[in-house]
Structure 1
Amino acid sequence: MLEIEALDTLFFRDGKSFAKGEDTWANSNFPPSPAVFYGALRSVYFSNHMESFAKAQLPDDPTAALIINGLFMKLGQDICFPMPLDCVTPKKSRNSKACLLSLIKNDGVNSSPMSFLLQPKNQEEVEQDLEGYLDSVTFKEYLNSGAEEFYYKKLSDYIHNEPKIGITRSKQTHSSQEHMLYRVDMRRMDKASFVVGYTGISLPQEGFIKLGGEGKGAICKPISMRPIPAPQSESKRFKLYLATPAIYGKGWIPQWMDQNTLEGVYQGIHVKMLAAAVGRPVFIGGFDMKQKRPKPMQKAVPAGSVYYFEIIEGQWEEVIQSFHGKNISDNLAEQGFGLAYMGEIR
């Protein structure tokens, strides 16, 4: 596990166009996708083994075994997880408290194809706080259905906007060019850092790393983190929480599931999807340093999304072995996409 602490403002561009002379505003995608850290760790390796750089993306690529198996935000002294999307806050609430949605049988009046719905208990107006994060203790309570209300941290208390305005200058005259004014949505991390777990390559445990646009510097140092235990239960129902975005072959539904029956078999376990709390898709792109061109854009289910399942064939322990703490994205799982944790349904 590495803790990565930024030394300056950071910028992670979203999937929107930002072409010279056409677009003036570059939006930030924060927190960044796992692909950012996958690429950054590979860059650290090659910077220490420049003789191997020519092998990048070839069959004998020495970083081919790299797997990101953990990606978290450290806010203050706590390692934190994005707010589960089956938790909501009252619309006019001013305190940082979220309530768990209830699993309600779909009586057929709703057009949802799901057999169950997720609804607030008191039918009050609610909203999802997309800036909310649960510390590890609270997150364990959430997975174990130990409480129906949770206090959470706001990302905006630790990440601050510091927009940067600039203009392109001519290489010949060094004077500013017309129609080349731009604004970049930089972010400054205040008592916040990234925590990344990885296997497959050997890296220095301490040093510097470049992150995001403009290659801003950050400090790397080792950090320990206790594993998140899976809940123990005899129930046939469970929930899957995504700590990182997941790229699925059928939009928001995994490739191994049937879109009509909402049933599927994963590593020998037959399950049926009962309900889901899924956010708007996020767009995953990037830049290929070797090919010197943008990578193809892909849609991903956002972190915090939650799926409710019923076990048709299989045991609770088998589900833990297959899903808990594993990357279950259909694509780019090795880069840390689709990090899932199993939770109990009350």
Structure 2
Amino acid sequence: MQTIAIQATDTLFFRDGRPFSMGEDSFAQGIFPPPPSVLFGVLRSVYLAKGLEDDSGLEILITDSLNLKFRFMAMQAGTDVFFPLPKDLVVVKDRDRLKLHPLLLSDAPQFSNTQTPKLLTANFEDKIDDDVFLTDLLSLERYLSGKVVNVVPRKLTDFTCPETKIGIGRDKNRNTAEDGKLFRLQATRPANKNLQHLQFLISFEGLQLPEDALFTMGAERRVAFYRKGEGLNLECPNLKSEIFKIYLATPAIFKQGWRPETLLDTYGLELLTAALDRPIHIGGWDMDEKRPKPMLQCVPAGSVYYVKAKDAAAANWAAQAIHGKSISDNLNQTDYQAQGFGIAYVAKYIE
């Protein structure tokens, strides 16, 4: 398995799922961090470019590049590795510091439209901070072992700087500006004010890439590079109960929307409840068909599913099979598991 750290040299802009056309819309909203499919495409492109330099056949290279499989994804700043904060941990502002509150697993009301037998409830009245939060590797390891009180939240904006850019559409034939096509976009510089760069840490198999490479990425084709990174391994906890949690380190795609029915059926699990946020929309461009890919709603990274097995032994068997693997469904003849959607880790549930 090979591990690399991708770092941008400029701002990055990744389109979200909302439509945008110059002249009708004036503001393009981006998404950060990018979905796994973007970085998956970047590595395939690097492999193709290297192969063409070595005079390999394009068709053979394209076929070989389909063997690429993402096994691990995180973000790195300096020597610290970060993951999305689990969504069953709520951050509130307590004066000038951030305070973390775990949500509590409770029985659903007798008369309710909830689709699960349990609910996650709050025992506080503070105002929730709705920023995007990360947590470091040590904190995530504590969370997976059931020690939620020791998790430290960090704002994504501590590692990035937003930059608004102005652009205008050009006539491709005359290479001149077109009237009525002025637009604005929100780009992200993956570095903080102290110039500490935020990198994408990826472990993969199926392809052998050069130890370092220079390339472009994002909608504006900004220059980025990667170099060798250090691989990580998160241990699966030993479960003492039939109830456990499944944490998503990357966005996931399921046939039934937010419910991982295939996973539940495969391992004989009952879904008790889930900590989710608004879905994110993932599209893209199909290079073979030369048309947009079907738009899909994804469960956001950081989401947590509470599940129940028949007993503790069945829970441990399922946990070992799920931990560190992709639990996404493959749709539209696309291998979303290989692209790194739905990389999951098992967390211990402690009452």
Give CA-to-partner distance per residue, 1:289-325, whole Å, 9 cap, x none.
4444322211111001100011026524312321100
Offset at residue 12 of structure 1 (A): 0.4
Name the counterpart of 1:216.
222
Within 2, Cα distance between the matches of 1:160 and 1:99? 27
AA aligned opposite 2:308: E
- Equivalent of residue 88 in structure 2, options 66, 86, 89: 86
Whole-angstrom distance in 2 between the partners of 1:221 and 1:333: 24
Unaligned 5+ runs, structure 1: 258-263
> Residue type matched to 1:84 in 2?
P
Q: CA deviation at 1:23?
A: 2.1
Q: Which residue of structure 1 aligns with residue 338 of structure 2?
A: 334
SS at match of 1:96: strand
| C-alpha displacement of 1:173 | 5.0
CA distance in 2, matches of 1:4, 1:337: 18
* Partners of 1:19 and 1:157 in 2: CA distance: 32
Cα distance in 1 for partners of 2:38, 2:288 equals 15
Partner of 1:158: 159
Residues 1:255 and 1:117: Cα distance change in structure 2 (over 3 Å): closer
Q: Distance in 2 between matches of 1:169 and 1:207?
A: 31
1:275-294 pair list within 5 angstroms: 275-294=273-292
Deviation of 1:197 (Å)? 1.1
SS in 2 for 1:48: helix
Residue 260 of structure 1: aligned partner: none
Q: Does the alignment pair 1:200 with 2:200? A: no
2:324 is matched with which residue? Answer: 325
Shift in Å at residue 210 of structure 1? 2.0
Aligned-residue offset at 1:149:
5.3
Q: Secondary structure at the match of 1:321?
A: helix
Partner Cα separation in structure 2 for residue 315 and residue 167 of structure 1: 59
In structure 1, the residue matched to 2:44 is 42
The CA RMSD over aligned residues, in Å, is 2.0
Count matched residues: 334
Could you say if the C-alpha distance between residues 52 and 291 of structure 1 is closer, same or farther in structure 2, counting changes exceeding 3 Å?
farther
Alignment partners' CA distance in 2, 1:200 and 1:186: 32
Tell whether the 8 Å contact from 1:99 to 1:149 is kept in structure 2 after alignment: no
What's the CA shift string for 1:67-111, capped at 9, x where partnerless? Answer: 111111113431111011101123665423322111112241443
Deviation at 1:7, TM superposition (A): 0.7
Structure 1 residue 183: Cα displacement: 1.1
- Partners in 1 of 2:83 and 2:40 — Cα distance? 19
TM-score (norm 2): 0.89
**2:118 maps to what in 1?**
116
- Paired with 1:334 and 1:209, the residues of 2 have a C-alpha distance of 22
Structure 2 equivalent of residue 311 of structure 1: 309
Match of 2:268 in 1: 270
TM-score normalised according to structure 1 size:
0.90
Q: 1:173 to 1:275 in 2, by over 3 A?
A: closer
Match in the other structure for 1:298:
296
